[in-house]
A and B are shown apart, each in its own frame.
Chain A
């Protein structure tokens, strides 16, 4: 039976609706649910979204450009330290100023490190980024007059938006983070679907072919590196206000590893994957440590091992496959 024009139009509308459906529901859930949560769970949700932005930034580098970095936390932590140092050591209160400087510092470092790291790829890229990350970690730990050293920078006050009557409560901070997250998500979505983003994916899949087609693969990767660094910086400027502390660990390999974990568990190469991953990891850690304060790393470890063995493409990947099947079943003209 031939499809009529009306059928095609209808199924096209259904396709668009189905496409936006997960994002809209996700967005609504992320707005509504925190409203009914107690304050300390709200700050946990802020942590989830901050880590989600961080994870998405790594995903640009890993999922979309094919470069796993073990030093991505540098751009995350440096932005945070810049904000913290400006507020605590120099008394600069305005959030806009510190945030702008924080993001700028991340991009600067990314510009510098990118040149070094992008001379190689694959396992070597991993090792170079690891080395650069450790160098920064060591410098931050050593420079304790400024950064507070291994004991961290404490007593970071809540951000000042330049409006006096505004004072922060967990739910308000959450919505600040949520808005930042929404903007980042939207921008990154446009980026990965833009010609630049598609070129990056092409380079990830087959670099020599892209080069033979005339693309300057190094330049594209470098831009991708900068973008990843920039968004890591955006996540980083929110970090010090979350708990009021910055610790050297936040520029180190453990935090870089955390970003990688968030991506893998959630699903690499998808933007919403890191959101799922951050949700899973933050809450798994919280619930596990509540249930058994001494043995909680065991539970987390088992979850990671199980996810590695059985959730191919991560939990996000699994959800994506489920959604895709529904999508496929809806709009085929040969219905």
Chain B
């Protein structure tokens, strides 16, 4: 019994960290920039495929592959922002149409380039295998995921709350004209933020691949999960995204253990209940 509880605690937290990684990019672009980027999941998927191509097919070092994937998605995001999104900043409707179209394009291009066969989860050689935890074995990779996630969360929080860049971004969100008047190049800031959000998506794609693998429908599946996290936790801040992802991850794990056949339904039910109490999410701005 104790074993089941501890295992699912670890399951929930490690799955939650993956959700955090994939949702933080969306939370940034949605909460900080107000851009509804439906292609976020597609950027995750592209990162996953690039990581797979580098780590599995070409035998690169896993961490280099993670970096490579992040850069690939980051650059892709950069191109998307510069060529398309830049002209659609206040136009929510057109953003929806554009990013939806990009999902179709990126998904189909990925199938064309890498094939549609689902990819088995892969990880760094030294992370495969398991820890011995009080009599049963727990995958090392999941522990590593937790550590990476916590580290990233700390880094993002620092960046957002404690650095000048973070302050600039937050100021720019509140009042773009003022910030520009202070001599800050908001166009460059926006592009940089979107690059970071996209990099995070690609990064998450490979870290997440240790658990989830890579397959074309990931672009939509991940987008849905990210939206759920953002709905529950609130968007635009690291704490909210972290809280939301932990809740969803733990509900999934314990939900499956307790009510195996209602797994996804339980998640959506909890999501709706939380929304009834706090429509902006648990740590979102009060609406």
A interface list, Cβ under 8 A from B: 68, 116, 119-120, 123-124, 126-128, 130-132, 134-135, 137-139, 141-142, 253-254, 257, 260-261, 264-265, 268, 295, 297-298, 300-305, 307-309, 312
Contacts and interface: CB of A to CB of B under 8 A. Distances in A.
A305 B96 contact: no
20 contacts: A119-B279, A123-B34, A124-B279, A127-B275, A131-B228, A131-B231, A131-B271, A134-B268, A134-B271, A138-B265, A257-B100, A264-B94, A265-B97, A268-B93, A295-B112, A304-B101, A308-B84, A308-B94, A309-B88, A312-B94
A142 B88 contact: no
Interface of B: 30, 34, 36, 84, 87-88, 92-98, 100-105, 107-109, 112, 220, 224, 227-228, 230-231, 261-262, 264-265, 268-269, 271-272, 275-276, 279-281, 287
Among B112, B231, B281, find the residue whose CB has the most chain A CB atoms closer than 10 A.
B231
A301 B96 contact: no
Contact of B264 (A138, A298, A304): A138
Contacts of B102: 301, 305
A305 B265 contact: no
B107 A297 contact: yes
Given A138-B268, A304-B104, A309-B84, A260 B96 contact: yes
A294 B19 CA distance: 31
Given A295-B112, A301-B102, A68 B93 contact: yes
Contacts of B92: 68
A261 B84 contact: no
B97 A264 contact: yes
A318 B109 CA distance: 31
A132 B272 contact: yes
Contact of B104 (A260, A300, A307): A300
A137 B228 CA distance: 14
Contacts, number: 115
A302 B105 CA distance: 7
A134 B224 contact: yes
Contact of A116 (B84, B268, B276): B276
Contact of A308 (B97, B109, B269, B276): B97
B268 to A, nearest CB: 4
A260 B88 CA distance: 17
Nearest to A62: B93
Nearest to A268: B93
B275 A261 contact: no
Contact of A298 (B30, B104, B279, B281): B104
B121 to A, nearest CB: 23
A142 B230 CA distance: 24
Contact of B272 (A131, A260, A301): A131
Contact of B268 (A124, A127, A135, A295): A135
Given A119-B279, A265-B97, 6 more contacts: A68-B93, A120-B287, A132-B272, A134-B271, A297-B104, A309-B94
A137 B268 CA distance: 10
Nearest to A132: B272
A301 B101 contact: yes
B224 A123 contact: no
Contacts of B95: 308
Contact of B97 (A127, A130, A132, A261): A261
A41 B163 CA distance: 60
Given A304-B97, A304-B98, A304-B100, A127 B231 contact: yes
A303 B101 contact: yes
A264 B88 CA distance: 14
Nearest to A254: B220
B275 A308 contact: no
Given A265-B97, A302-B101, A303-B101, A309 B87 contact: yes
